Amino acid sequence: MGKPKRKRAKKQDHLILNLLILVTVVLVVFEGRLVVTMFTYRSVTNASPVTAQSGTSASSTGSMTESQQTENASTTNGSSSMEASLAGLPGNLSIPEGSDHSTTSAPSSNAVVPKASTPVDDSYFSDAVFIGDSRMEGFRNASGITQGRFFTSVGMSLSSMRSENIIQTPDGNITVAAALSGGTYNKIYIMLGTNDLGEYDWNSFQDGFVSAVKRFQEIQPGALIYICSVIYVEESKVDSTQYVNNANVDKINSILLDICEEQGYHYLNLNEFLSNGYGALIDGASSDGVHIYPDYCKQMLDYLKSHYIPVNQPDDTSSDETEATTDADDSV
């Protein structure tokens, strides 16, 4: 009579043991991921300070020689490149979602704006202009931001930003350049690229982007230029995954980062907090896979408030190269 009971007790012990093992495995997998993300976040925020904080000019950021870059790349090992991807920084190669990210190189860069010790308030944006697509428009609508001008348009692409009448006014739509000429701005935030993910002539994109921003600098000489990374997407919710995918987001972000390094612009790595840790938008952050929910727009505002170039630090990126002009009707 006592044997079956002992057997049952043994079976229960095994069951409990198996359950414990399962729980341990789950904890190791998920917590391990959190630990990796935590460390990579630190590695990004501890990256070399950007121009104004280090006292060096932004143009010197851009003057990082090719050999230095090669040297940096050569010291990059597989684990650090994975960390960079987990931290939302673009790699130099496109990374398909779900890949092991082992082929990317670490893009630690002086152009990435690090977290400031003290966040600013909305008044920092009083002389700022935000240029961008529907994602930037969503940020204006949902973040709770109270200051700054927004020249945004649904569907804005590099091409339309340069030449089409897409910015709303009481008298109809006008070009971004014309809108920009209507005021004086000391900071220009640009969020562009989502509608260019199907652009596979990346060299042409890079040249066009630089040309457009230089035109903005002519209109607003001396303005700080902030380039926002293209936010990851939730591929499972996107219709046009043949080009709106995270591999292309990584590719375009690596181009934007290159541009920032070369031109002395300041790169805002929004995927630092919007990435799920594996090169995609956080699950459930968006209804359609592209446009993020209000809570994340609010987080984006907090991010911008804590990632900025102090205004008392002169930014000499544009003063030497550009001249003021009032020719508002020229397309960029």
Task: Measure the CA angle with vertex 14, ends 11 and 20; round to 5°.
Answer: 145
Among 113, 176, 274, 292, binds another protein (CB under 8 A): 292
Nearest to 219 by CA among 152, 145, 162, 267: 162
User: From CA 328, how far away is CA 175, in angstroms rounded?
Assistant: 9
- Strands 167-169 and 172-174 turn out to be antiparallel
**What minimum distance in Å lies between the beta carbon of 5 and another protein?**
57
Contact 304/153 with Cβ under 8 angstroms?
A: no
310 binds another protein (CB under 8 A): no
By beta-carbon proximity to another protein, the closer residue of 185 and 265 is 185
By beta-carbon proximity to another protein, the closer residue of 2 and 170 is 170
Q: Which positions from 150 to 189 touch another protein by CB under 8 A, shown as an x/- string?
A: x--xxx----------x-xxxxxx----------------
Helix (H, G, I), strand (E, B) or coil at 259: helix
For residue 64, report the phi and psi dihedrals to the nearest 5 degrees. Answer: -55, 120
Among 84, 291, 307, 317, binds another protein (CB under 8 A): 291
Which residue bears the tokens 């591929």? 235
By beta-carbon proximity to another protein, the closer residue of 4 and 170 is 170
Q: Which positions from 118 to 157 touch another protein by CB under 8 A, shown as an x/- string?
A: ---------------xxx-xx-xxx-xxxx-xx--xxx--
By beta-carbon proximity to another protein, the closer residue of 50 and 167 is 167
By beta-carbon proximity to another protein, the closer residue of 138 and 279 is 138
Of residues 231 through 290, those in contact with another protein by CB under 8 A are 286-288, 290
User: Which residue blocks in 94-229 are alpha helix, DSSP H?
Assistant: 134-142, 158-163, 176-180, 202-219
By beta-carbon proximity to another protein, the closer residue of 179 and 227 is 179
Q: How many residues bind another protein (CB under 8 A)?
A: 33
Q: Take residue 309 and report the two structure tokens written for it.
A: 């170039």
**What minimum distance in Å lies between the beta carbon of 138 and another protein?**
3
Taking residue 34's Cβ as centre, other Cβ atoms within 10 Å add up to 10
By beta-carbon proximity to another protein, the closer residue of 146 and 184 is 146
130: which strand partners?
150, 189
Number of H helices, E strands in the chain: 12, 7
Which residues of the shown chain bind another protein in the complex (CB under 8 A)?
133-135, 137-138, 140-142, 144-147, 149-150, 153-155, 166, 168-173, 286-288, 290-294, 297
